[in-house]
Structures are given as structure tokens and as C-alpha cells.
Amino acid sequence: MSLLQVRDLHTHFISRNLDNEIRVAKALNGVSFEVSRGEVLGLVGETGAGKSLTAYSVMDLLKPPAKVVGGTVEFDGRNLRDLEAEDMNKLRGSEIAMVVQNPRSSLDPLTRVGEQLIRVHTAHTDTSESAARARAIEKLGAVGIPAPEQRMRAWPHELSGGMAQRVLIAMALMNEPKLIIADEPTTGLDVTVQAQILDLLRELVVTHNVAAMVITHDLGIVAHYCNRMAVMFAGRIVETGDVETVFDNPSHPYTRTLIASTPERLKEGKQKVLGGGAPPNLYNLPPGCHYVERCRFADESCNKPLSLDQVGDGHFAMCTRLDAVREGWPS
């Protein structure tokens, strides 16, 4: 049984134009995925695909004009969409923790690191200050910060980007979360630090038995650090499965294009597949497949409503012309 099950999630931006007519940007259009304890799910797709919006919709952190208008978010047996704001608030930061890009901007520049870690814990529990302090030191150690006791006194500006991200991960662990959502956690960090942070996340998923969702535009990160993946395009998951399965046997043309364009594949002498293009207009999406404008396999059958269909063991894709794609794809 998965810890988090998201089913058919729809999120819209609802506004009015100058003529006072309602305008709806359909940013999430039936997002479905799940993630279990001990597993890292990679949510991957180009900028604007709706990855962050998915995280914010799950966490109930949207601000108007964004609004979840349909679907279910089941977490540990509860439908989060039914929870009162107060209960949802308790759940965030305790059972579900979020790690974001630009860790320094998430830390309070005027408060020492240790104090921030302690506050995260005492705000959610009845723990004493001294117990919270001991826990903060333990968590700083768990994320590989040397001399954690001294580091408790550090100011955020004294930390490197990599160290700041470790502190944020320690903060995420303070309340023993069941799920960690990391949104582009290593964007902006140099490659070596990026690898250390992602190795750490993967290790913590096992040692702390949590579920993790890593949001990234970088397929290399998914290949190296995730167990399962969900490929997002224009507010939908278009393919999902075990990382190895999807990389060995990508089905959707968008996934195929992404994989064919990775440096590893190009190094193998594979032909570069052009797959770029403008993202679809969220105010006026096509009735069927959202990829239709970019897809060279498109025909009239692609204008019908689609579903995420099983194509293999735990492997699903949203495309009506998989046979034509398989036959016509350049080898």
C-alpha cells in the first residue's frame, strides 16, 4: 500500500480578464501517481510542466488564483482534501516535509541554525527545549555536517550552498516525517555537491524509512537517484514506471525524446531527436493529447480523451498510438 496516492488531480488558475470574463488556465489536468516508504519517486518534466504546482497542490499550499478543483490526495489512509486547514497545517512540517531550491532563502538570516531547527520541532510537539536541542544535533550529524554541536551556533550566511541544503534536510527530518518532497533540491549547486546531497537523500529514505519525491527537470538525476519515475507534460503524467523499465523501454514520444537527448545516449552515437517546442496554451488545451502539436506520430485518433494505460509491469503511458511510435521511432 502506497503512503501517498494522488488520483486525477486538477488545479486551475481562475481569473478575470479586462472585460470581466472568467479565464481558466488548466495547469494540472488529471495528475495521478503514488509513492511508498523506502522509495524515491522522480517527478520529471520541462519547466512549466506543473511539477511544483503538483507539490503545492498536494501540500495545500496554493494561493489564489490557483485552486485544486478535482481529484483526491490520499496520505497514510486520509484524504488530505477533506482535512481542516488547522489539521493540514499540523501535518505539514511534521508528517510531510518539503525541501526547496535555494536553501539559503528558506533559512531565517537573523536566527542561528540550531535555533531554527529547535523551533521547527517545538512548534509541532510538546518536547522540551533541551530534548529538541539534542535532536537537532543528532539530525545535523545524520546529514553529514561535521562538528554538529558547533554548527548549531552558525548563522545561515556562514554556510555554503551545499551545507545550507544539508541544514534544510536536517530540518525536514526534525519531526520524523513520513514523506519528503524535494523540489529541485540541487539546482544551482555544483555537480559534486549535487551528488552528495542526492546520495544523502537516497540514504535517508532507507535509514529513516521515509518516502521521497524528487522534483527535477534533469533526467540524469532521475536515472541515478530515483527508484521510480513519473514524466510530466502540460499538467499530466504521460508515463510512469520503475526507472530501469522506463529507461530501457520508454513508450511515450515525449519520454523517448527526453531519454534520447541525455548526454549518455548522445555519447553512444545515437541520433539527436528534436523534441522541443512551445508548451501548450493552458487556457486552450487540445481536447485529447497535450503533446499533439509537437508529436510527429499524431493523427486524428489523438484528439480523443486519453488515459494512462498499462504497457508493462508497473509501467503506464498515455498515448493511443504506441505501436506506430514503436515502429516509427529512429533506432
Ligand X SMILES: Nc1ncnc2c1ncn2[C@@H]1O[C@H](COP(=O)(O)OP(=O)(O)O)[C@@H](O)[C@H]1O
* Contact positions vs ligand SF4 (CB under 6 A): 252-253, 289, 291-292, 295, 297-298, 302, 319-321, 325
Nearest distance from residue 48's CB to Mg ion, in Å? 8
HSE on the CB side for 21, CA within 13 Å?
3
Stretch that binds ligand X, among 48-56, 79-87, 292-300, 307-315 (CB under 6 A): 48-56
Contact characters 235-264, ligand X, x per CB under 6 A: ------------------------------
Partner touching 311 among Mg ion, ligand X, ligand SF4, none, CB below 5 to 8 Å by kind: none
Q: How far is the CB of 106 from ligand X (least distance, A)?
A: 16
Please give the distance of CA 145 from its chain centroid, rounded to a whole number. Answer: 25
**For ligand X, which residue of 35, 44, 49, 319 counts as binding (CB under 6 A)?**
49
Residue nearest to Mg ion (CB): 52
At its nearest, how many Å lie between ligand X and the CB of residue 283?
8
Q: How far is the CB of 51 from ligand X (least distance, A)?
A: 3
Q: Return the range that interacts with ligand X (CB under 6 A); candidates 47-55, 152-160, 221-229, 247-255.
A: 47-55
**Would you count residue 25 as binding ligand X (CB under 6 A)?**
yes
Min. distance of Cβ 254 from ligand SF4 in angstroms?
Answer: 7
Residue with smaller CB distance to ligand SF4, 12 or 252: 252
CA Rg value for the chain: 21
* Angle value at C-alpha 134, between 132 and 138, nearest 5 degrees: 110
Q: How far is the CB of 57 from ligand X (least distance, A)?
A: 9
Q: Which residue has the cell 516508504?
A: 37
B/e letters for 121-145, b = 16+ CB within 10 Å, e = fewer, are: bbebeebeeeebbebbbebbebbbb
222 binds ligand X (CB under 6 A): no
Binding-site size for ligand X (CB under 6 A) equals 13
- Smaller CB distance to Mg ion: residue 52 or 106? 52
CB 320 within 8 A of CB 309: no
Alpha-carbon span 257 to 300, nearest angstrom: 22
Quick one: which of 306, 294, 287, 296 has its CA closest to 46? 294
Peptide bond connecting 177 to the previous residue in cis, omega within 30 degrees of 0: no
Binding mask 259-288 for ligand X (x = CB under 6 A): -----------------------x------
Of residues 10, 36, 48, 125, which one binds ligand X by CB under 6 A?
48
The smaller minimum CB distance to ligand X, of residues 27 and 204, is found at: 27
Give me the helices (H) in 208-278, please. Answer: 219-225, 243-248, 253-260, 263-267
Nearer to ligand X by Cβ, of 46 and 76: the residue is 46
- Residue 13 touches which member of ligand X, ligand SF4, Mg ion, none, C-beta under 5-8 Å by kind: ligand X
Sign of CA dihedral 123, 128, 130, 135: negative
Three-state SS letters, 88-146: HHHHECCCEEEECCCHHHHCCCCCCHHHHHHHHHHHHCCCCHHHHHHHHHHHHHHCCCC
Of the candidate residues 20, 47, 130, 307, the single one contacting ligand X (CB under 6 A): 47
Whether the CA torsion 220, 224, 229, 235 is positive or negative: it is negative
Binding site for Mg ion (CB under 5 A): 52
Residues in contact with ligand X by CB under 6 A are: 13, 25, 27, 45, 47-53, 65, 282
